[in-house]
Chain A
Amino acid sequence: MSDSSTASITVHVWRGNSEGGSFDEFQVPQQPSQTILDIVTWIQRNLDAGLSYRFACRVGMCGSCAMMVNGIPRWTCRTHVNKVMRDKQLTIEPLRNLPVIKDLACDMSEFFAKWNQAQGQFQGSTTRDEKIAPISPCSPEREAANAAIECINCAICYASCDVVAWNRDYLGPAALNRAWSLQNDVRDTAGESRLAAVAGDAGCHRCHSQQGCASYCPNELNPTASIAGLKRLTASDFLRRRYRSRHA
């Protein structure tokens, strides 16, 4: 404990499990360098040993520590208290749109199941025994693929999207963003079936461009733009097919 900390912060922390819960209030001493994750850690280490939460890398690389902070989804290890605190108050809740395991830790299974459903994995045509393909980093396809690639699967976008809340099947911004990146990867060979996967009932057309995903993504990715790309791609693919089947 540092003695420079005179002020204290009132922190409301959601406690509970999949059956429901309520808020507990804690007083945490303020420090000059303090993230939301540090607040949660301080509570667990000093005030309530039973508090559950998740983190791993503590520097914004693993996407394990996302929570709702004053109602907004954030990576807590990289969110400085001063940036989000209002009137010395903080409210910390588990990430929205995912089932809670306990307190601040959610079950991310459905998030990754949807990643799979959107065929969010590469399928190449060459093997480990072949040379690496020369690909210009400035080609438009590669630029599009790169723009969407640095996702840390934190599910912050997923929590910010109301369509996910309203439509439990919706694949969600992260999975669709990954699919778009892959569609632009010239080495990938699964484009056709992936396109069908993202055009289904729960796919890209469900998105209403609410853009919470793009506003809150901590890595400043833009799933809205990616999803718009998929809408165009699925539509033109559909029209082309119809045209072909008419004129075959």
Chain B
Amino acid sequence: MQFQTLKTDVLILGSGGAGLFAALHASRANPGLDITIAIKGLLGKCGCTRMVQGGYNVALSPGDSVERHFMDTISGGKWLPDQDMAMRLCETAVIRVQELENELGCFFDRNDDGSLHHKAFAGQTFDRTVHKGDLTGIEIISRLMEQVRALPLQMMEEHRALALLPSRDGDVLAGVLLVDMRSGEFRVVKAKTVLLATGGGPTMYRYHTPSGDKSMDGLAMSLRLGLGLRDMEMVQFHPTGLLAGRDTRMTGTVLEEGLRGAGGYLLDGQGERFMLNYDAEGERATRDIVSRAIYAEMRAGRTTSNGGVYIAMSHLGPDLVAAKFPGMVKRCADCGFDLAAGRVEVVPTAHYFMGGVVVTTDTRTAMPGLFVAGEDAGGAHGANRLGGNGVANSTVFGGIAGDEMAAQASLQNHWVEPDSEVIEAAMERSMLPFRQAAGSINSIRDRLLDLMWDDVGVLRDADGIKRAQVEMVALKTELQACGLADDNRVFNLSWHDWLNLSSLIEVSEVIAAAALSRENSRGAHYREDFPEVGSLDDSYFTIAHSDPEKVGQTVRVECQPVEFSIVKPGESLIH
């Protein structure tokens, strides 16, 4: 098959916080470098960094400290985070927020005296979340985007990465195979260094929050390259996603945390409050507890017409609600719901993926030449991510990756030839649907989403997970045989739906295997057959390998003890 070949010093995949920061840092570190950024959508206009609402955790407030931020991150992550990564995150966040303000022009909300405003966010012992109203992500990504768009770099917008290409001997990363979504043509970009920043995104669940372009491509590509992925069982659910029916893309999108914090009620299908049956904190309990409670209500059948529960705010006074949550009220109104005075159906929704590629604190991987940052990288959050640590993670490590890649690419004066067999195989694989008779991709998608939601979701047990594993093998085979109704490769969304689904199934298999292997309940992972947390001192994390080429259950999961390199359970850095 035909493809065009290009060359670059630094290749960045993705334009979220991680990708854009990497571009900026690499270019500042060495303006002479040839930098290319390839994105599945338009630069800065896709991915989840834009969707950040709550804000950015940083220890900048008087009285707060990096150590305290670190301790909150570790205990929030149930002692599973890689402590060196978590520390680097908390330390560098300070510089990054100053960089965002002073160099890029972000303006975060201020107190009346002009100092930065820090708001409270769940799971933290100090008010440390800086924000711009409840649209923090738009401010961060817009400022980043306009800076990066002014740089003299190669933009490959609407280019989807299909495969990471090793050298012939498999020792180093040589480049990436992409498809130009606008023309359907293949491109191989040979690069001295590559950053994977495609941002995870658990969109294989019936209800999910991330943007539509995210489909775990980065992790699927890493698996094929033979890299180990850690914490793959850790999928964070947000308790209140909008529920508006199956055929609307609004379903699953986040209704903000603050609604419960302000005193909103959760009601079952009969209009009864139920949270107090689960936790003394009621609706104000943490994300995981509320998600599990709602899920349990749903499973018991006490649901609304669409199969969720209600959030009700009207008892606080519709005018007050409208004044306090204008964005949410408007968003609901645009969708046809009255949040201020009525009830809105909600459901837990898959929000963030803690798992990812095993990396060092300077974003290197086991494959020389490949760097990973942002939601694609595992380790910083362990079993649970604190609200506000997600965007911190992507911007901090994206910047670090940019510095590291620039340094490495500046020293290297040759390119490595990618393995042509891998290129051929990857093109062949992606062209598969054009060689099959048209099939029903919708039904495969629906079944995957339901399967993951029902059996590998908020509450899990061995039987369910095993059931899901069997079904997933079938889905995979069906997808291979499912062709497309339109064979024009130009801007063919249905083709990309197929490719998305392929990545999602491959990663779902790994999530299921990791979930089955962890026989305890930590953070986001809850096993009904193993509800205990397990010994903190013996904390371990999972590492999964898989060969998606093979049919059947091909995932291998190992456990590795957490290295308490900075603090041990029972200890604290704060005295």
Contacts of A102 in B (CB 8 A): 182, 490-491
Proximity string of chain B (531-563) to chain A, C-beta cutoff 8 Å, 1 when within and 0 when not: 000000000000000000000000000000000
Q: How far is the CB of A167 from chain B (nearest CB, A)?
A: 23
- Indicate whether A152 sits within 8 Å of B110 (C-beta atoms), given known contacts A80-B335, A124-B105: no
* Contact indicator A35/B149 (Cβ below 8 Å): no
User: At the interface, yes or no: A77 with Cβ under 8 Å from chain B?
Assistant: yes
Q: How far is the CB of B371 from chain A (nearest CB, A)?
A: 21
Contacts of A31 in B (CB 8 A): 245, 247-248
Contacts of A48 in B (CB 8 A): 485-486
Residue in A closest to B399 when the chains form the complex, CB atoms: A128
User: At the interface, yes or no: B488 with Cβ under 8 Å from chain A?
Assistant: yes
* Contact indicator A33/B336 (Cβ below 8 Å): yes
* Contact indicator A77/B97 (Cβ below 8 Å): no
Residue in A closest to B145 when the chains form the complex, CB atoms: A153
* Contact indicator A49/B50 (Cβ below 8 Å): no
Range, interface on chain B: 35 or more
Q: How far is the CB of B387 from chain A (nearest CB, A)?
A: 17
Proximity string of chain A (50-61) to chain B, C-beta cutoff 8 Å, 1 when within and 0 when not: 111111111111
* Contact indicator B250/A129 (Cβ below 8 Å): no
Proximity string of chain B (175-197) to chain A, C-beta cutoff 8 Å, 1 when within and 0 when not: 00000001000000000000000
User: At the interface, yes or no: A216 with Cβ under 8 Å from chain B?
Assistant: no
Residue in A closest to B53 when the chains form the complex, CB atoms: A61
* Contact indicator B98/A131 (Cβ below 8 Å): yes
Q: How far is the CA of A135 from the CA of B110 in the complex (A)?
A: 7
Q: How far is the CB of A117 from chain B (nearest CB, A)?
A: 10
Q: How many residues of A contact B (CB 8 A)?
A: 77
* Contact indicator A46/B442 (Cβ below 8 Å): yes
* Contact indicator B211/A57 (Cβ below 8 Å): yes
* Contact indicator B212/A134 (Cβ below 8 Å): no
By secondary structure, the B interface counts as loop
Contacts of A140 in B (CB 8 A): none
Q: How far is the CA of A57 from the CA of B209 in the complex (A)?
A: 9
Residue in A closest to B445 when the chains form the complex, CB atoms: A45
Q: How far is the CA of A163 from the CA of B45 in the complex (A)?
A: 26
User: At the interface, yes or no: B494 with Cβ under 8 Å from chain A?
Assistant: yes
* Contact indicator B98/A129 (Cβ below 8 Å): yes
Proximity string of chain B (471-499) to chain A, C-beta cutoff 8 Å, 1 when within and 0 when not: 00000000000001110101111100100
Contacts of A50 in B (CB 8 A): 485-486, 488, 492, 494
Residue in A closest to B116 when the chains form the complex, CB atoms: A132
- Among B43, B212, B246, contact of A55 (Cβ-Cβ < 8 Å): B212
- Indicate whether A44 sits within 8 Å of B493 (C-beta atoms), given known contacts A78-B331, A134-B114, A150-B138: yes
Proximity string of chain A (204-244) to chain B, C-beta cutoff 8 Å, 1 when within and 0 when not: 00000000000000000000000000000000000000000
User: At the interface, yes or no: B428 with Cβ under 8 Å from chain A?
Assistant: no
* Contact indicator B212/A61 (Cβ below 8 Å): no
User: At the interface, yes or no: B102 with Cβ under 8 Å from chain A?
Assistant: yes
* Contact indicator A82/B336 (Cβ below 8 Å): yes
8 contacts between A and B (CB under 8 A): A52-B493, A102-B490, A121-B146, A121-B147, A128-B98, A134-B114, A137-B110, A142-B107
- A sample of 11 more A-B contacts (CB under 8 A), given A45-B442, A45-B494, A137-B109, is A56-B45, A57-B51, A61-B50, A61-B135, A63-B45, A64-B45, A126-B102, A132-B101, A153-B142, A185-B105, A185-B107
The residues of B with any CB-CB pair to A shorter than 8 Å are 41-43, 45-47, 50-51, 60, 95-99, 101-105, 107-116, 133, 135, 137-139, 142-143, 145-147, 149-150, 182, 211-213, 244-251, 253-254, 331, 334-336, 438, 442, 484-486, 488, 490-494, 497
The residues of A with any CB-CB pair to B shorter than 8 Å are 1-2, 17, 31-35, 37-38, 41-42, 44-46, 48-64, 77-80, 82-83, 101-103, 105, 108, 112, 115-116, 120-124, 126-138, 142, 145-146, 149-153, 178, 182, 185, 187-188
